[in-house]
Structure 1
Amino acid sequence: MSFRVRVAAAAILAAALPLSLAACGGGGDDSDKVTIGTKFDQPGLGLKNPDGTMSGFDVDVATYVAEQLGYTPEQIEWKESPSGQRETLIQNGQVDYIVATYSITDARKEKVDFAGPYLITGQSLLVRSDNTDITGAESLENNKKLCSVTGSTPAQRIKDKYPGVQLQQYDTYSACVEALKTGAIDAVTTDEVILAGYAAQSPGTFKIVGEPFSEERYGIGLKKDDTELRTKINDAITKMVSEGAWKEAFDKNLGPAGITAPEPPTVDQ
């Protein structure tokens, strides 16, 4: 039985069988699955490891939510969700929800709904650990070479606010990080938690500098007007925070990069 059909059935039978979605899923047929979208190439957030397992803060959040909905980790089917495909994956029913550094924006809310936010971050800078002259966005305008991803919000923000920066745009952040490692560029910019994941993957090689210069509210994307599921996910996020599991997941996945867990946001109602 599909995830959405099962949610609907649980709602219809609620009066006769007072079982929550969690109770229904936890004791259900092992063939039942929940399909969750995330990134496969972002260390510390959403990463598919060589052995096929998944790891990262987004993965831990997604797994906790799934458990609150009644699914064991073995019942999760992970679906790679590149930034440009997220709305389509949700609208076509290819995923039940997406946890993938997915910023809540008005434009996206026209196509999908969001639970959360479950994390607030901002655009920042990654440099080599021995760098001393880049301290923030303003210091990039002194003929520094900055890398970001083609068509990304961070790249556009640099163009708009810091036109004196030598911006180089690559296809992926991993390519930017490799160029930073070899000295081909001086800094990489995107959301701080994404940079933290790369820094944690290569301890001692990179560091994050300066203060974030934007605000990004990460939410869990789901089909538009699915109020029941949105409420259940919001409740799960709130519980994850109150139990301490949210901070534990952040510290485990992103703490090695040297950033302190921020205050968890209050979910939108």
Structure 2
Amino acid sequence: MIWIRTRRALLGAAAGVLLLGACGYDATVVPKPDVEESSQAAPAVPVECDNATESYASSGDRTAALRELTDRGQLVVGVSADTLKLGSANPFNKSTIEGFDIDVAKAIAGALGVQLKLRVIVAADRIKLLKSGDIDIVARNMTMNCARWTEIGFSAVYYNATQKVLVRKDADGRYLKYKGPQDLAGLRVCAPAGSTSIDNITRIEPDAVPVAAANHTGCLIKFQNGEVEAITGDDTVLAGLVAQDKYAVVPDQQKLTDEPYGIGANKDDVDLIRFINSVLDERRSNGAWQSSYNTWLKPYLGDASAPAPKYGR
């Protein structure tokens, strides 16, 4: 495959980029999304496909995968730095980003034999940066769906999350009555701009008032300031928010949606996706997936096992 996709130089890319490598990172400001925060988010237009969780058959062809990196000496991965347990700065060493998603990124770079560069991005910029070639892949709790497959490619599912709702409890442990999305009618509910979470809540409960923020940390700030009554998102993300706020709670509830996570890549980089799938296969079989899950997510979400891959594209 002849490489024709161009990339802006990483260090000269848009202001507000956070790059991490073996020697630490440039502690610049985390970028804001190009969209403005809004209290009214338009629902996404549904796109149909046979199976959004089906990816390309795995391949260990490292040479073919390397040809699809912009810089064959490094893998640039879009990640979160403020999603506790998935991708967040270590509280004792701010130069280190760690979590379940970061473990996946490290495994892929290690298998490719290249330097890992972590670029902190917001949810709204994931697809844009993949399509432009500014990053090679995204490991940032990204849900696979039919609409996104029209713009980018995905690995096989590496984690099955579910969307739920977080509400506030008082000093006595009482919290906002919540048994289902119908209880959100008339309430302000926060989710990151550009995420499936905000689209889903708009579709499932049209009388809820969606409020967009740059990320879930922005939602938590709004929640703590009384600007919203609830936050919605993947159970993995909400677990991290509860760990940060003693007045936040995720009540017992039915899931709103399934949110299968895949590693995002440029749509043309099929060889890279196939190689990533081989890395995910190995992590499932050698216990690396389970070890990572037990470290980061099991204390909050309980027992789980690695999802079986679906191939056939």
TM-score, structure 2 normalization: 0.67
Contact 1:140–1:146 (Cα < 8 Å) also in 2 = no
Q: What is the match of residue 79 of structure 1?
A: 119
**Structure 1 residue aligned with 2:220:** 177
User: What is residue 253 of structure 1 aligned with on the other side?
Assistant: 296
1:43 is aligned with what amino acid? L
Aligned ranges for residues 51-90 of structure 1 at < 5 Å?
51-71=94-114, 75-90=115-130
- Structure 2 residue 163 is matched with structure 1 residue 120: no
Match of 2:147 among 89, 107, 115: 107
Summarize the Cα distance change of 1:266–1:106 in structure 2 as closer, same or farther, 3 Å threshold: same
1:205 shift after superposition: 4.1
State whether residues 143 and 262 of structure 2, in contact with CA within 8 Å, keep that contact through their aligned partners in structure 1.
yes
Alignment of 1:1-269 (within 5 A): 21=62, 32-49=73-90, 51-71=94-114, 75-128=115-168, 130-138=173-181, 140-141=183-184, 144-150=187-193, 152-202=195-245, 204-209=246-251, 210-256=253-299, 258-269=300-311
- For residue 237 of structure 1, report the CA deviation from its aligned partner: 0.8
Aligned length: 241
Deviation per residue, 1:139-192 (Å, 9 max, x gap): 624765433334543223223322343544444321321333455543211111
User: When the two structures are superposed, what TM-score results if normalisation uses the length of structure 1?
Assistant: 0.77
Report 1 or 2 for greater relative contact order, CA contacts < 8 Å, sequence distance ≥ 6.
2
Structure with the bigger percentage of helix? 1
| Cα distance per residue 1:55-87 (max 9 Å; x no partner) | 11111111122222224xxx2111123222222
Q: Partner of 1:122: helix, strand, or coil?
A: strand
Task: State the distance in 2 between where 1:134 and 1:184 align.
Answer: 18
Partners of 2:76 and 2:136 within 8 A in 1? yes
Q: 1: CA distance between counterparts of 2:95 and 2:236?
A: 23
Identity %: 26
Contact 1:247 1:261 in 2 (8 A): no
Equivalent residue of 1:262, what SS? coil
Question: Matched residues in 1 for 2:217 and 2:188: separation?
Answer: 16
Q: Give secondary structure in 2 for the equivalent of 1:264.
A: coil
Counterpart in the other structure of 1:13:
none
CA contact (8 A) 1:133 1:139 kept: no
Q: 1:249 to 1:206 in 2, by over 3 A?
A: farther
Report the secondary structure of 1:34's partner residue.
strand
Cα deviation, residue 100, structure 1: 1.0
Unaligned runs of 5+ in 2: 5-59, 67-71
How far 1:198 moved relative to its partner?
Answer: 1.8
Alpha-carbon RMSD across the aligned residues, in angstroms, is 2.9
